[in-house]
Structure 1
Amino acid sequence: MRNMIIASTSTIHGTDYLSYLLPDIMEVFKKQSVKNLLFIPYARPGGISHDTYTDKVKTAFKDTEIEVQGIHEFKNPKEAIENAEAIFTGGGNTFVLVKMLYDLEIMSSLRKQLYAGTFYIGTSAGSNICGLNMRNTNDMPIVMPPNFKTMGAVGYNINAHYLDPEPSSTHMGETREERIKEFHCYNNLPVVGLREGSYIRVQNEKEMLCGIHTARIFQQNKNAMEVPSGYNFAELLK
C-alpha cells in the first residue's frame, strides 16, 4: 500500500515554503494521527547545511503540532526510517541525495517503508527518487552516486520543474522536451513532466495528478501527451 505526495516543487512563486501542499499533508496527518515527521535533508539546495534545511521545514510546520526531526540527527538512519510515522524528502541536487542514500545503505529501507504504507512526501529531488531511476533529473552531476537506480515507487520517471519552450526566448540550448527525447533514444521508460505547482497523489493503486496545471507524458516512439488534473498515471502501465 502506497500513500504519497510526489510534488514538482516545494514552493510556488510568491508563496511560503510548502504552503500549497500543507492542507493535503495535514489532512493525512490528522487521519493517521501523525505527530512526528522525519525529514531527509541530504539534497542540500545551494549547499546549505542539513541543520539549516531542517530548520526551514520546522518553520513550515510551526503553527501545527507536528515535530520535525532531520534524519541526520539520528545515530542509526535506517532505524529512523523504519520507525518514522511520516517521511519528507526535500529538493535540491538529486545526485547528492542519491549518493547519500546509497552511502548510508538506506535506499532499499526507504522503498520498503513506502510500500508498507508509511506516508511519504517528496518535492523536486525528493520526487525524482520516486521514479525507476534518476536519469531525468535537471541537476548537475556534482557527485557520482554508485547507482542511478532509485526507489521505483512509481513505474515511470519524474521530470520535476518541467518547463515549456518560450517562443520569445533567445536561449539556444535544448528544451526540456528535447532532452527527454534524447533520453528516449536509449531508454523506453515513460517520463512525466510535472509543472510547478503540480503533484501526484498516490493512494494504493491510484496515482492522481493534482493542481491547476496539466502534465506532459513522454514515451518512446510516441508523441508527447498532455493530461489534465485528475488523470490517473497508473493507466500508463496498463
Structure 2
Amino acid sequence: MDQRRILLCSSSKVADSDYLEPVIPHLQQYLGATEELLFVPFAGVGMSYDDYTAKVAAQLEPHGFTVTGLHQAQRPAEAIANAAAIVVGGGNTFHLLAQLQQQQLVAPLQHAVAAGVPYVGWSAGSNIAGLSIRTTNDMPIVEPESFSALALVPFQLNPHYSDYQPPGFHGETRDQRLAEFMAVAPETPVLAIREGTALQIDNEQMVLLGNQDGFVFQGGHKLQLPCNSDISSWLAGK
C-alpha cells in the first residue's frame, strides 16, 4: 500500500521574502506535531554542511522544529530509516545527487518514504524526487554516477519555473529547454512549478499549493497545472 507523504516546494524564497518564508507555512501544516527534522545539506556548495544546517535551523527552530544534519550521523542510512521527517535543501542538484549516490543513500531514502516517513524538499531537494535530474536548472559542476534520481513520483520536476524572458536576452528560455527534453523523451511529463508553490502528495492524492498555476510539459504540449485543485492523475504519469 502506498504511504507516500511528500511535500515538494519550488523554492526557499519568493520575490523579496525571508529565507524559507514560503516553505514554513506548508511545513507546519503538513508535518503537524512532527518536531524533529533530519536535514540533508548535500546540495550546499558555497557553505559548509554545518553552516547550511545551522542556517536552516535558525529559520525553523522558532517554529518548534529541531534540525539535525544527516552529515553528522555516524550511520546515515540508519538515521534516514529512523527519521521522523526528512528535509532536503536546495543548492546544486548534481552535487546533491552525487553525494547521495556515493554514500549509498538513494535506496534508504526510497525505502523510508515508501514506509511513510514524510519527505520535504525545496529546489534541488524537490528536483531529486522525480525520475531523474535531467530537467534541473543547475550547472553540472560534478558528475553523478547517473542522472537517475529517487523516483518518489513518476514524473520530472522543474522548480523555479518562469516563462519570463528579459528584453535583449538571446539564450534559450526555460520553455525552449523543456521543449528540448520533450523532443527526446516525449512520453515523460515534466511538472514545472513556480516559486512560492509546492506539490503536496498524500498517498495517491496530489495538489499544487499556492496562488499560481504551474504547467506540465509532455509530448510537445504545454498544459496548465491548476493550483489548489486535484491533480492526482499525474501520479499515474498522465
Q: TM-score normalized by structure 1?
A: 0.93
1:98-150 C-alpha deviation (Å, 9 max, x unpaired): 00000000111101111211111100000001111110001111100001111
**Aligned counterparts of 1:143 and 1:20: Cα–Cα separation in 2:** 29
Partner of 2:135: 136
Partner of 1:34: 34
Report deviation, 1:18: 1.6
**Aligned counterparts of 1:62 and 1:84: Cα–Cα separation in 2:** 17
Letter in 1 for 2:42: Y
Mapping of residues 1-238 of structure 1, within 5 Å: 1-30=3-32, 33-45=33-45, 47-166=46-165, 169-187=167-185, 188-221=187-220, 223-236=221-234, 237-238=237-238
Q: TM-score normalized by structure 2?
A: 0.93
SS in 2 for 1:51: helix
Task: Report the count of equivalent residues.
Answer: 233
Contact 2:10 2:197 in 1 (8 A): yes
Structure 1: which 5+ residue stretches go unaligned? none
SS in 2 for 1:194: strand
Contact 2:61 2:67 in 1 (8 A): no
Structure 2: which 5+ residue stretches go unaligned? none
Q: After the TM superposition, which segments of 4 or more aligned residues of structure 1 sit over 6 Å from their partners?
A: none
Residues 194-203 or 8-17, more deviating: 8-17
**Aligned counterparts of 1:199 and 1:65: Cα–Cα separation in 2:** 21
**Aligned counterparts of 1:88 and 1:69: Cα–Cα separation in 2:** 10
Contact 2:216 2:224 in 1 (8 A): yes
**Aligned counterparts of 1:87 and 1:67: Cα–Cα separation in 2:** 12
Letter in 1 for 2:170: M
SS in 2 for 1:69: strand
SS in 2 for 1:169: coil
SS in 1 for 2:191: strand
SS in 1 for 2:232: helix
Report deviation, 1:165: 3.3
**Aligned counterparts of 2:123 and 2:205: Cα–Cα separation in 1:** 21
